[in-house]
A and B are shown apart, each in its own frame.
Chain A
């Protein structure tokens, strides 16, 4: 057990990349430290932390492009929630950020940390999946970031595919089509704050002439990796939303997900509740059109 912890605090991306190139001993990234702090026994042997909250670009970037926005990976949830553009274009993301931990946690915790921590219960992950988020991974190779999707970076509970010298630099979110999107995010935990999800569900969809034109569905805490429910999405596309279809979709979702029983909940609870949450969301959508 070492009493000493080295903290490296690069001030910008160039410096960070330079440090990573030279680094010979294992190091651990730290952003808001809300996960790191409770996982102390896992990294304290290594004893070196790289503080991403000192990297200028990572903590301050919010670039608005013609087709989407680029968010620095070390922005806190509180930062993200406050941007008008995010409130307008990505209310579903704001909703999931607001449900994380408590205000104190939101003040520190970051989007990059939530993704890299790769917990199936990470609350922003299903939302990022339905928003088709693109992760920009550093360091740059010939000036280009490596691009990845949320389901690619996560390889299992608590595991991501990043190499020791790789980090999440930005999250790019394409603007969803502006015409009448329907969105739904629901987190189920044992209590109303400071609770890790037993289950979550994110839905984003568009209708055309009373038919579903496109729908994206992703449930959290129901599989080792974050995956969109593609079969359920397929079943629903081009369908008219009526109670029969909704029931079919819910049944399909329950077949498609593979939740486990762990200390937070049981397989059966997660599975059946996921089905009912989809029912609830689609019924709300069906009503909203009328």
Chain B
């Protein structure tokens, strides 16, 4: 039953942890210490691909500062782990496959001394050919990264719909383009930290750390220790950013710390400094995307053939799932009859790649939304027009042959709203008129790059304006990736105060506040009455990972379910108490409960709780929210991939400096349909953060690896946007209806990021008349049409 008016849902509410965060009093993982604690320091070999022959500890063996040296021989259980495929050793013993690899760990009281001592360790290894180019990974001559797997292919997702060759034959025009994106770093401010300690009396192990998915960590640590799940208690400390980044690596660090604690019977802490964090942590996948599109004079896209190659780096990590989202969404939010898509992820010796906010969507959206504008240019129609012609509507069928139904398919509405809010058409046309396209800087070998003198006559010719847009649909939650259900625990106390906990984790997205608001709404109480409990794996059922923008939808559903269970028991109690008919309805509002109808019956929430408690009523509930069934045919890539979708449109306005290639992001208008907005302030925060991260992805951020070795190991070289680099951001919410999620609340976290880069790329097109195919669109890309390549650096001299 749709609810018409809300007490608190949809209003702007300050986060419950806001004060702690702003005043710096939140205890992060590194603030947690135990008596007698040792530090773990990692030992790595400066190699990208090698067979380990011998690690020689003789120079440090017997040193009193070293309490223990741990390696793979200390592992009682599984020596390799992984979130999907178990291919990543906790400690490498046979091979090094990327420079972040760890062969052993020193334990001691002084972290600093260990860092000095580790430089004395000698090793011998046989170097193997290094594979850095993913396009060579499947060649028969390519070195095998994991020889036991017999191939460097991590996964191949095909999708076949209609008859693509027939589609091309029936198209008036064909366009083929190739786009690439870069590896990027999550750049969470807090680096990885974990502590493990044994509980007294063989009662298991306690792990606390900057962990995004405590249940995944528990599962993998239990496998490494060969212990039952119950004996591994994982607790999440306040997290200083994650963005998908504190999954695999944290699982491995937790396993290493646990091994250390087991070996020494002392608490073991591991904490990374920034260089180590960037070196070993996984990145966003770089993609190479080839698109062939057949379209007609009237703008209708008839067929699309897509070939995508993702660099998975040294380990499979989340590659199978990241690329699965890609295959589902690679055609964008458009209705296309004939589709043929292949998405592959391969192993290389590069840093491994895995989950990052967006999860396989920012890459194809960059390609496919750039392409839409290219088609529009060729047909001489506007960017919104080409999208209107092809957009998915209610009842349309997606590339996976899923019919969009039972929710508001708000694709055209978000587009229209974004056009209106940004005065898109007017600006777009004016820019086209103001910006002569024929005179972009020409650096081809005969030209020097000097501009025509006319170009300096007016300032506005050096500084050009551009406006561009991008549109997307996004499948909510995990889809056919995995089992989708979540739990919440709610316990109302006799005085009306409430304990709340959910099986999904607070990773900085503000989920505790969102969930408190849901309970407050159902029970008609103040969010301040809710005490949010710390997240521990032993206190709540496994609810899957906190990923895929699924917390509000799934966790919120479970929280609402728990609150409704308790409310129902309270209502039954009231009916008895007031002796009113069974079908009487109630208002829960402002800490008061009233019976609907004529009788002026009312009671305060706390009195009611006291009453129920005295009658022996159970005021605690475990809420459960199972996602509906989805299914998927692996061979054809067909099926209802996700049970529902969200829609978004972002418009970017930029100023481009012709002299230098600098792009200033003046304004982003971000229109999203996340379903029902629970906390307006939280939702706006998602947009500000997502757009900023998306702009970094579009304009600056790039991890370069030379022979697998990352060049940008700290934030002096790896540049993320600062507050000075981003202009105004205007969040707009268009709340579509849906039968899933709490009151139809769905997803927002990732959609906010995935649209910004292509919107900027299209704005640059509007300003310069040029299409740029390779992210990030930094100064060198705009002026030279090339990236700074690692091989340039080896030369380090004039060319």
What residues make up the interface of A, taking CB atoms closer than 8 Å to B? Answer: 1, 3, 38, 102, 188, 190-196, 198, 243, 246-247, 250-251, 254, 258-269, 271-273, 275-277, 279-280, 283-284, 287
> Which residues of B lie under 8 Å from residue A254 when comparing CB positions?
448
B1 at interface, CB cutoff 8 A: no
B793 at interface, CB cutoff 8 A: yes
The 10 closest A-B pairs by CB, nearest first: A243-B453, A272-B449, A283-B456, A193-B724, A276-B659, A192-B724, A261-B792, A191-B725, A188-B660, A269-B780
Q: When the two chains form the complex, which single residue of B454, B659, B721, B722 contacts A273, counting CB atoms closer than 8 Å? A: B659
> Which residues of A lie under 8 Å from residue B443 when comparing CB positions?
268, 272
Known contacts A190-B719, A193-B725, A266-B788; decide if A1 and B112 are in contact (CB<8 Å): yes
A262 pairs with B453, CB closer than 8 A: no
Q: When the two chains form the complex, which single residue of A190, A258, A273, A283 contacts B778, counting CB atoms closer than 8 Å? A: A190
Bound Cα distance from A287 to B716, whole angstroms? 38
A275 pairs with B112, CB closer than 8 A: no
A277 pairs with B719, CB closer than 8 A: no
B121 at interface, CB cutoff 8 A: no
B784 pairs with A268, CB closer than 8 A: yes
B450 pairs with A279, CB closer than 8 A: yes
A280 pairs with B449, CB closer than 8 A: no
> Which residues of B lie under 8 Å from residue A267 when comparing CB positions?
798-799
Bound Cα distance from A280 to B786, whole angstroms? 24
> Which residues of A lie under 8 Å from residue B779 when comparing CB positions?
188, 190, 198, 265, 269, 273
> Which residues of B lie under 8 Å from residue A263 when comparing CB positions?
711-712, 717, 788, 793
Chain B interface size, as a band, is 35 or more
B153 at interface, CB cutoff 8 A: no
B389 at interface, CB cutoff 8 A: no
- Chain B nearest CB from A222 CB (Å) reads 11
B784 pairs with A266, CB closer than 8 A: yes
> Which residues of B lie under 8 Å from residue A1 when comparing CB positions?
112-113, 116
Bound Cα distance from A276 to B719, whole angstroms? 25
What residues make up the interface of B, taking CB atoms closer than 8 Å to A? Answer: 112-113, 116, 441, 443, 448-451, 453-454, 456-457, 462, 659-662, 664, 700, 711-712, 716-717, 719, 721-722, 724-725, 778-780, 783-784, 786, 788, 792-793, 795-799
Count: A-B pairs, CB below 8 Å: 121
Closest-by-CB residue of B relative to A242 is B453
> Which residues of B lie under 8 Å from residue A258 when comparing CB positions?
798
Bound Cα distance from A263 to B448, whole angstroms? 23
Bound Cα distance from A138 to B722, whole angstroms? 39
What are 23 of the A-B contact pairs (CB < 8 Å)? A190-B700, A191-B724, A192-B722, A192-B725, A195-B719, A246-B453, A247-B450, A264-B717, A265-B779, A268-B449, A269-B779, A269-B783, A269-B784, A272-B441, A273-B449, A273-B779, A276-B449, A279-B451, A279-B453, A279-B659, A280-B659, A283-B453, A283-B457
- Chain A nearest CB from B290 CB (Å) reads 27
- Chain A nearest CB from B450 CB (Å) reads 5
A260 pairs with B662, CB closer than 8 A: no
> Which residues of B lie under 8 Å from residue A261 when comparing CB positions?
788, 792-793, 795-799
Bound Cα distance from A195 to B722, whole angstroms? 10
Most buried by A among B661, B724, B779, B797: B779
Known contacts A250-B450, A272-B443, A283-B456; decide if A188 and B662 are in contact (CB<8 Å): yes
> Which residues of A lie under 8 Å from residue B448 when comparing CB positions?
251, 254, 272, 275
Closest-by-CB residue of B relative to A187 is B660
> Which residues of B lie under 8 Å from residue A266 when comparing CB positions?
780, 784, 786, 788, 792, 799
Bound Cα distance from A267 to B443, whole angstroms? 13
Closest-by-CB residue of B relative to A287 is B457
Known contacts A191-B722, A268-B799, A287-B457; decide if A251 and B788 are in contact (CB<8 Å): no
Most buried by A among B451, B662, B793, B797: B451
> Which residues of A lie under 8 Å from residue B725 when comparing CB positions?
191-193
Closest-by-CB residue of A relative to B701 is A190
> Which residues of B lie under 8 Å from residue A192 when comparing CB positions?
664, 722, 724-725
- Chain B nearest CB from A11 CB (Å) reads 33
Most buried by A among B454, B660, B664, B716: B660
Q: When the two chains form the complex, which single residue of B659, B724, B784, B795 contacts A277, counting CB atoms closer than 8 Å? A: B659
> Which residues of A lie under 8 Å from residue B659 when comparing CB positions?
273, 276-277, 279-280
> Which residues of A lie under 8 Å from residue B780 when comparing CB positions?
265-266, 269
Bound Cα distance from A40 to B751, whole angstroms? 41
Closest-by-CB residue of A relative to B780 is A269
- Chain B nearest CB from A61 CB (Å) reads 32
- Chain A nearest CB from B196 CB (Å) reads 27
- Chain B nearest CB from A250 CB (Å) reads 5
Closest-by-CB residue of B relative to A286 is B456
B451 pairs with A276, CB closer than 8 A: yes
> Which residues of B lie under 8 Å from residue A262 when comparing CB positions?
793, 796
> Which residues of B lie under 8 Å from residue A251 when comparing CB positions?
448, 450
Bound Cα distance from A196 to B715, whole angstroms? 12
> Which residues of B lie under 8 Å from residue A196 when comparing CB positions?
716
Closest-by-CB residue of B relative to A273 is B660
> Which residues of B lie under 8 Å from residue A287 when comparing CB positions?
457
Bound Cα distance from A259 to B780, whole angstroms? 14
> Which residues of B lie under 8 Å from residue A195 when comparing CB positions?
719
7 additional contacts, CB 8 Å, given A261-B788, A261-B795, A279-B450? A1-B112, A1-B116, A258-B798, A263-B717, A277-B659, A279-B453, A284-B456
- Chain B nearest CB from A49 CB (Å) reads 19
Known contacts A247-B450, A268-B799; decide if A193 and B462 are in contact (CB<8 Å): no
> Which residues of A lie under 8 Å from residue B799 when comparing CB positions?
261, 266-268
Bound Cα distance from A193 to B721, whole angstroms? 9
Known contacts A192-B722, A268-B443, A276-B659; decide if A260 and B798 are in contact (CB<8 Å): yes
B792 pairs with A191, CB closer than 8 A: no
A276 pairs with B116, CB closer than 8 A: no
B664 pairs with A280, CB closer than 8 A: no
A265 pairs with B719, CB closer than 8 A: no
Most buried by B among A192, A247, A251: A192
Closest-by-CB residue of B relative to A248 is B450
> Which residues of B lie under 8 Å from residue A268 when comparing CB positions?
443, 449, 784, 799
Bound Cα distance from A48 to B462, whole angstroms? 50
A275 pairs with B722, CB closer than 8 A: no
> Which residues of A lie under 8 Å from residue B719 when comparing CB positions?
190-191, 194-195
Closest-by-CB residue of A relative to B660 is A188
> Which residues of B lie under 8 Å from residue A246 when comparing CB positions?
453, 456
- Chain B nearest CB from A254 CB (Å) reads 7
